[in-house]
């Protein structure tokens, strides 16, 4: 059996590992309490010591640090780009420069490290104002506001390092785009690119897309308003020029290019690239691809990508976050409604519980141990049924101060 190591410790890695266990022997490094409870091996060891046939890197930080390069240098097959390719996500300023060079449609922008220049430029912009930290900020470094005074304060806080430390020492000020968001995950084997099902992530903490940006409060796939023809246009206008520019820069990108797109009246524009699976998008995509995921990831890493069969059905995931998320999540609240295996104590058809931030207390109970705590994922023949299953399941799980949106996927099914 193929030996696979999944690197990471969250719900995304749980979902990927779960789908891969259908056809491989999987170890998650380091994993978490809920993944281990689900019968998937977790180990906090050096990856090479496990002699994997394939390593799948979940989060962006190790990719930006060059983990994929280190492993490839030792002859290990890796799903995930090297440090050069990961700069697409690691630096917003690099990304914008790359997109200009490639001719990819994106929001107009300017980059600043000096407060006075940034504030002067801000006065020339019209609302909504979009202010981004340059470096990695776990999806939380972006402010979109129509209040100029709030925008000014954010620029100052970011540039003074109050908000994100060194990651904020350069800011990108961007034109606000209108439309709806779509996450398109594209597998790239260095030469070819194949899109997976479209997905949508819900980034704001509150119902109706209000409140702070988070890592993602829920997701759905596929996104019905985006047609196959729309995807072909995005591949032609966004992805193909990106691949050409990657090759021009000598970057052999083997992994997933996750395009965060704003689809508006003038077509799709790129908001950002991520160089790994979205979290929580992986929690809807991985269960849909299921046993087919191993071949997809392995052939991508080998450089001879197979074209995936399009899965039928739909999936919805609802994130349960800790009290105080996203600003100051509280740890240690006891979670009710889970069995010893970390899955639903009262099972609901088609539902898996993926653990993001959980731990076991001294009595063996699951407790909150991070901002996002659990992702409740449901697959079903339709989005409507998937949504109903996910919320039925979420209703059986509880902990003090639980933060959950009640409107994930509501618009697309009503």
Chain residues in the site for ligand AMP (CB under 6 A): 107, 130, 132, 139, 142, 144, 174-177, 181, 203, 213, 260, 271-272
298 contact, one of ligand AMP, ligand GLY, none, CB 5-8 Å limit per kind: none
Q: Which is nearer to ligand GLY, 81 or 278 (CB)?
A: 278
- Binding of residue 274 to ligand GLY (CB under 6 A): yes
Shortest separation between residue 151's beta carbon and ligand AMP, angstroms: 13
Q: Which is nearer to ligand GLY, 139 or 255 (CB)?
A: 139
Shortest separation between residue 142's beta carbon and ligand AMP, angstroms: 4
- Exposed/middle/buried for 349, CB within 10 Å: 0-12, 13-18, 19+? exposed
Q: Which is nearer to ligand AMP, 276 or 389 (CB)?
A: 276
Enumerate residues 135-164 that contact ligand GLY by CB under 6 A: 139
Shortest separation between residue 337's beta carbon and ligand GLY, angstroms: 25
Which stretches does DSSP call E strand in 77-215? 78-79, 109-112, 129-133, 142-145, 171-175, 180-189, 193-201, 204-206, 210-213
Backbone torsions φ then ψ of 206, nearest 5 degrees: -110, 160
- Binding of residue 255 to ligand GLY (CB under 6 A): no
Enumerate residues 206-225 that contact ligand GLY by CB under 6 A: 216
Answer for which of 134, 154, 189, 279 binds ligand GLY (CB under 6 A) is: 279
Plot region of 251 (φ>0 → left; ψ -120 to 50 → alpha; else → beta):
beta
- Binding of residue 357 to ligand GLY (CB under 6 A): no
Measured between alpha carbons, how far is 275 from 129 in angstroms, rounded to an integer?
26
- Binding of residue 52 to ligand GLY (CB under 6 A): no
- Binding of residue 89 to ligand GLY (CB under 6 A): no
How does strand 78-79 pair with strand 54-57? parallel
Cβ neighbours of residue 402 under 8 Å, at least 6 residues apart?
320, 321, 322, 323, 373
Name the residue number minimizing CB distance to ligand GLY: 278
Give the up-direction half-sphere exposure of residue 310: CA atoms within 13 A in the CB hemisphere.
9
Q: Which is nearer to ligand AMP, 5 or 142 (CB)?
A: 142
Beta bridge partners of residue 213, listed in sequence order: 204
- Binding of residue 80 to ligand GLY (CB under 6 A): no
Give the binding-site size for ligand GLY (rule: CB under 6 A): 7
> At 207, is the secondary structure helix, strand, or coil?
coil
Answer for which of 80, 82, 278, 311 binds ligand GLY (CB under 6 A) is: 278
* Of the candidates 240, 243, 235, the residue with the CA atom closest to the CA atom of residue 88: 243
Q: Which is nearer to ligand GLY, 216 or 329 (CB)?
A: 216
Cβ pair 257, 188 in contact under 8 A: yes
Shortest separation between residue 278's beta carbon and ligand GLY, angstroms: 4
DSSP 346-368: S--TTEEEEESSEEE-TTS-EEE
Shortest separation between residue 72's beta carbon and ligand GLY, angstroms: 24
Q: Which is nearer to ligand GLY, 77 or 203 (CB)?
A: 203
Backbone torsions φ then ψ of 382, nearest 5 degrees: -140, 160
- Binding of residue 58 to ligand GLY (CB under 6 A): no
> At 45, is the secondary structure helix, strand, or coil?
coil
- Binding of residue 198 to ligand GLY (CB under 6 A): no
Backbone torsions φ then ψ of 154, nearest 5 degrees: -70, -40
Q: Which is nearer to ligand AMP, 33 or 137 (CB)?
A: 137
Cβ neighbours of residue 230 under 8 Å, at least 6 residues apart?
263, 268
Which residues sit at the interface with ligand GLY, rule CB under 6 A?
A: 139, 201, 216, 274, 278-279, 281
């Amino acid at each position: 059996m193929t030996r696979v190591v999944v690197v990471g410790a969250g719900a995304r890695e749980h979902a990927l590992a779960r789908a891969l266990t259908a056809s491989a022997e999987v170890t998650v490094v380091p994993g978490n309490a809920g993944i281990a409870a689900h019968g998937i091996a977790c180990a906090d060891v050096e990856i090479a010591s496990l002699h994997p046939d394939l390593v799948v890197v979940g989060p962006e930080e190790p990719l930006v640090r060059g983990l994929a390069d280190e492993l490839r240098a030792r002859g290990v097959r890796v799903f995930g780009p090297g440090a050069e390719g990961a700069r697409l996500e690691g630096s917003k300023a690099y990304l914008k420069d790359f997109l200009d060079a490639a001719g990819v449609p994106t929001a107009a922008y300017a980059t600043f490290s000096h407060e006075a220049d940034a504030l002067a430029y801000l006065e020339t912009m019209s609302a909504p104002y979009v202010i981004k930290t340059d470096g990695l900020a776990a999806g939380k470094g972006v402010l979109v506001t129509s209040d100029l005074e709030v925008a000014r304060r954010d620029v100052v806080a970011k540039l003074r390092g109050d908000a994100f430390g060194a990651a904020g020492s350069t800011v990108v000020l961007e034109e606000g785009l209108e439309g709806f968001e779509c996450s398109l995950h594209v597998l790239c084997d260095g030469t070819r690119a194949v899109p997976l099902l479209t997905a949508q992530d819900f980034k704001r903490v509150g119902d109706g897309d209000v409140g702070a940006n988070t890592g993602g409060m829920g997701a759905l796939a596929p996104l019905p308003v985006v047609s196959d023809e729309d995807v072909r246009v995005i591949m032609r206008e966004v992805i193909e020029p990106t691949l050409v520019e990657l090759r021009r820069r000598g970057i052999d990108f083997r992994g997933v290019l996750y395009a965060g797109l704003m689809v508006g009246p003038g077509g799709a524009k790129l908001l950002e690239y991520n160089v790994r699976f979205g979290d929580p998008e992986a929690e809807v995509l991985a269960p849909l691809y299921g046993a087919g995921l191993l071949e997809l990831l392995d052939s991508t890493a080998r450089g001879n990508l197979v074209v995936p069969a399009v899965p039928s059905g739909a999936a919805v995931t609802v994130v349960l976050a800790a009290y105080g998320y996203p600003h100051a999540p509280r740890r240690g609240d006891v979670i009710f409604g889970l069995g010893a295996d970390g899955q639903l104590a009262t099972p609901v058809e088609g539902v898996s519980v993926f653990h993001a931030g959980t731990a076991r207390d001294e009595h063996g109970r699951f407790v909150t141990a991070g901002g996002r705590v659990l992702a409740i994922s449901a697959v079903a023949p339709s989005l409507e049924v998937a949504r109903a299953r996910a919320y039925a399941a979420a209703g059986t799980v509880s902990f003090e101060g639980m933060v959950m949106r009640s409107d994930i996927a509501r618009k697309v099914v009503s």
